[in-house]
Amino acid sequence: MNVTFNENDIRPDELVKKQEQYCQHDIEFLKSRKGSFVEVACPACGKANQDICFKKHDIDYIECKNCGMLYISPRPTVEILGEYYSNSPNYKFFNDYIFPASKEVRREKIFIPRVKKILEYCNKYKVKKDKLIEIGAGFGIFCEEMIKTKEFQEICGIEATENLAQTCRNNGIKIYEGLIENIDIKEKFNVAVAFEVIEHIFSPKNFIEKIANILEENGLLMLTFPNWEGFDISLLREYSGSVDPEHLNYFTKKSIRILLEKSGFEVLEIITPGELDVDIVLKTVQKNNLSIPKILHKICVEERDTTGKKFQNFLKENCLSSHMMTIARLK
């Protein structure tokens, strides 16, 4: 993944400003249901641990002393989340405006590199290319691009949002509509992918187990998600845009490994191909007038285009970016 891009390409500034008011609405909705939130143990290792790391929007973020992951507890139930995602004006705005405005950049810089990566891993680990499923297919761009390669015989997706599922079908993609946890899928796949999904899930353990049930033996699973130990998230903490009430789980290298191994997977690779840490720190520091250590200010703000670029590459290569990707194989 050598394509470089900045945050403005995929989240245009103008639209982001408008989006903020819708975000506020979503946060208020979740806060209004706080009385029905439930306490959970660590979603990765299962250890109970109720030390609050910080609060944001009156929601508690817990850091697990055992595996290091950050998670929301008490958290919204599956029912509250269902209501949230079907009524969210923020998602509607994203789907109607932000995504269409940035669709082609995303195709070029995010989805096509992902397709290439998956094909590389299939070859590297000698995985059969009969059937692939994407959990959380969204607008179907990944599936569309994978279909174009003609490498897999069959490609399908799971999508819970009705109009997105329809968009995928209109583009010729077979779709299971609903949440993977609630759908009875009879077929099995050689490859499953889920991009930026697991952080939203009430029970990551159920989610991964369900995926294990629909994979063939030696089937490959690729996940991407925010890394709590990554540069921008661990530095910015509650100021990080990635830390918001709908992201319930912030895995780390150690915690995702524990979760996958518990569900019968062998972890093959954990990488952080992120490009945006320095950009995100720069924007967040300017927007909130945040004070960060001088040396980091120099790298991310004053020398963003020179030292900052090299620093981003360093983060990427040393598993320190906030955008994490795992490749695992079902044993």
d(CA 238, CA 215): 36
- The CB-of-132 to Zn ion minimum distance in angstroms stands at 31
Q: Give residues 198-237 in contact with Zn ion (rule: CB under 5 A).
A: none
Nearer to Zn ion, 109 or 254 (CB): 254
d(CA 314, CA 321): 9
Nearer to Zn ion, 44 or 156 (CB): 44
Phi, psi of 171 (to 5 degrees): -95, 15
Site string for Zn ion, 25-44 (x = CB under 5 A): -----------------x-x
- The CB-of-66 to Zn ion minimum distance in angstroms stands at 4
Task: Establish if 260 lies at the interface with Zn ion (CB under 5 A).
Answer: no
Site string for Zn ion, 140-159 (x = CB under 5 A): --------------------
- The CB-of-303 to Zn ion minimum distance in angstroms stands at 37
Using CB under 5 A, count the residues that bind Zn ion: 6
Q: What are the angstrom distances between the C-alpha of 168 and each of 9, 164, 214?
A: 23, 6, 21
- The CB-of-4 to Zn ion minimum distance in angstroms stands at 34
Nearer to Zn ion, 72 or 214 (CB): 72
- Residue owning tokens 């891993």: 121
Task: Establish if 262 lies at the interface with Zn ion (CB under 5 A).
Answer: no
d(CA 42, CA 73): 9
Task: Establish if 67 lies at the interface with Zn ion (CB under 5 A).
Answer: yes
Among 45, 146, 147, 220, binds Zn ion (CB under 5 A): 45
Among 10, 64, 282, 320, binds Zn ion (CB under 5 A): 64
The neighbour count for residue 221, using CB atoms within 10 Å, is 24
The neighbour count for residue 148, using CB atoms within 10 Å, is 10
**The token pair that represents 118 in the structure block:** 């998956």
The neighbour count for residue 33, using CB atoms within 10 Å, is 15
**The token pair that represents 71 in the structure block:** 């998670």
**The token pair that represents 151 in the structure block:** 């490498």
Question: Helix, strand or coil for residue 26?
Answer: helix
- The CB-of-39 to Zn ion minimum distance in angstroms stands at 14
In contact, 274 and 322? CB cutoff 8 Å: yes
Nearer to Zn ion, 40 or 168 (CB): 40
Which residues are near Zn ion by CB under 5 A? 42, 44-45, 64, 66-67
